Amino acid sequence: DPPADTPIRQGMVITVGFLRPVIVYADGQSFIARTHATDPATIVAEMGISLGQGDTVRVDRAARPTSADIQANPALASVPILPREISVVRARTVVVDENGSHVSFQTTARTLGDALSAAGYALYEADRLSSSLGSVIPAEGLEVSIERSTPVVVLADSHPLSTRSFQ
């Protein structure tokens, strides 16, 4: 700073910023970007990696001043976090078949359980799923069937106990 085409004059302050390496993981490959940018999405865009609707960019590792450094020098609190490793997480499609009704949604969750939870599905222990909640969602997406359990009330010693059952 200032730009390279600025004429030099006496007393001018010139700031030289070094390009920082950032490791970017995308689509099964790893790349090294050399950048001044601090915003992960900007870094990915500078590399020509396009993001689809629902894709996210996750910071896996970053350099930042420690709380001790900030306490010793409060001005460091305004220093931006510098990404060192970032990952492009592609959205995947989950199709839910519940009683013949099909609903699909995009998710960047790794597992079916996390995806269903993030999408607002409440599941009960007695519900049946065609895939386990720990199933990793593959790149091509996943279809899951949910068979809901039935709420029942059991009377034991004159005390009602609410539960669910699958018959």
b/e map 121-138, b = 16+ CB within 10 Å: beeeebeebebeeebebe
Q: Please tell me the predicted confidence (pLDDT) of residue 50.
A: 94
| pLDDT value of position 70 | 86
pLDDT of 14 above 80: no
Tens-digit pLDDT profile for residues 86-135: 999 999 999 999 988 999 999 999 999 999 999 999 999 899 999 999 99
Tell me the pLDDT band of 138, cut-offs 50, 70 and 90.
Answer: very high
**Summary mean pLDDT of the chain:** 90
Mean pLDDT over residues 57-73, rounded?
89
User: What is residue 118's predicted lDDT score, i.e. its pLDDT?
Assistant: 95
What per-residue confidence (pLDDT) applies to 96? Answer: 97
* DSSP state letters, 62-113: EE---HHHHHH-GGGGGSPPEEEEEEEE--EEEEEEETTEEEEEEE--SBHH
Q: What is the pLDDT of residue 163?
A: 87
Higher-pLDDT residue of 75, 68: 68
CA-closest candidate to residue 148, choices 131, 123, 130: 123
